[in-house]
Amino acid sequence: MLTIIKLEKPKPKALSVEWFNAEYPKILNTAIDNPTDENVKAYRYATRVLLDKASNFTRTFQRQSLLDPMLDESNRMPFSSAMRGAFMRMTTEQKKKATDAVAKKAGLWVFLDDKCPYCAMQYPLVARTAKERGIEVVYITPDGNRPSWMLGADEVRKDMGQGRNLKIQVRPAVALVIPPEKVTVLTQGMLSQDLLEERILVAGDAAGLITGEVRKQAFPEERGILTPEDIREIGESIQKDPKSIVPGTQERIQKRY
């Protein structure tokens, strides 16, 4: 007859994270159920140790962030007020250049209605964006007639089913058109000029119209960010060698700057 011997799981080291996960709730519950001076004091001192462990970790964490360029977030986006202001101004200029790059390969469909007061307010914002960014715009109305408040010689076409196909329910509406057949609705409803340009930029980037150095400069906040492929490769490396997490991660972060 076989005898099964159950091996006891070794107890976690006292005051380790594993120990706190198991014992800290018990200490708290004991103090709540029976709040004697001894029980409450045991809970408070256990809490003190736990918080000091967290403080020790935090100090080391912060020190490494300051001394290791690969962990310093300010390398991607400065935190100081003076530097951040200059950084944001430069980024804004680079985003405008990237939007100009999108404008060379795409255009806008703008759905308007003469009876829509919001369309009358959206029109000059779109027209200004088109002029400043050099993007071609086609205005689309239900009957093909020029709205009474529209100025200049902007092209107006009749809605021949574009609105239905794009499920346009609200006017004004703006869509980014990328030949030969990709169309992305940017908004149904009013947008300020800066938000309209931001959506043109994001939609153009998603469509692959911004590449190389232009894209890198337009989205500096993405510098140093590991891609899903990077993370997969790091994981495969760790399976072979657990100690490879630091050098493997450092190597791939450097490639993303």
Domain identity same for 128 and 47? no
CB 136 within 8 A of CB 130: yes
Residue 1 included in any domain: no
Domain identity same for 200 and 253? no
Domain identity same for 112 and 205? yes
Domain identity same for 122 and 26? no
Element (H, E) at 99: helix 81-103
Residue 10: predicted pLDDT:
84
Residue 61: predicted pLDDT:
92
Domain identity same for 192 and 116? yes
Domain identity same for 228 and 126? no
Q: Which residues contact 119 (CB under 8 A, 6 or more apart)?
A: 112, 113, 147, 171, 172
Domain identity same for 201 and 228? no
Domain identity same for 228 and 191? no
Residue 72: predicted pLDDT:
82
Where in the sequence is the domain holding 23, given as residue range(s)?
12-52
Task: Give the number of domains in the chain.
Answer: 3
pLDDT tens digits along 207-246: 999 998 899 888 888 888 899 999 999 999 999 999 999 9
pLDDT tens digits along 79-136: 777 777 787 788 889 999 999 999 999 999 999 999 999 999 999 999 999 999 999 9
pLDDT tens digits along 28-74: 999 999 999 999 999 999 999 999 999 999 999 999 988 888 888 77
CATH number for the domain harbouring residue 164: 3.40.30.10
Give residue 24's pLDDT band: very low, low, confident or very high (50, 70, 90): very high
Dihedral sign computed on CA atoms, order 62, 65, 71, 72: positive
pTM given for the model: 0.71
Domain identity same for 179 and 140? yes
Residue 107 included in any domain: yes
Residue 116: predicted pLDDT:
92
Residue 41 included in any domain: yes
Beta carbons within 10 angstroms of residue 9's beta carbon: 6
Q: Which residues contact 19 (CB under 8 A, 6 or more apart)?
A: 12, 13
Own/partner long-range contacts of 131-136 (Cβ < 8 Å, ≥24 apart):
133/96, 133/99, 133/100, 133/103, 133/197, 133/200, 134/100, 134/103, 134/104, 135/102, 135/103, 135/106, 135/107, 135/108, 135/200, 136/103, 136/107, 136/108
Residue 70: predicted pLDDT:
85
For the segment 7-28, the average pLDDT, to the nearest whole number, is 91
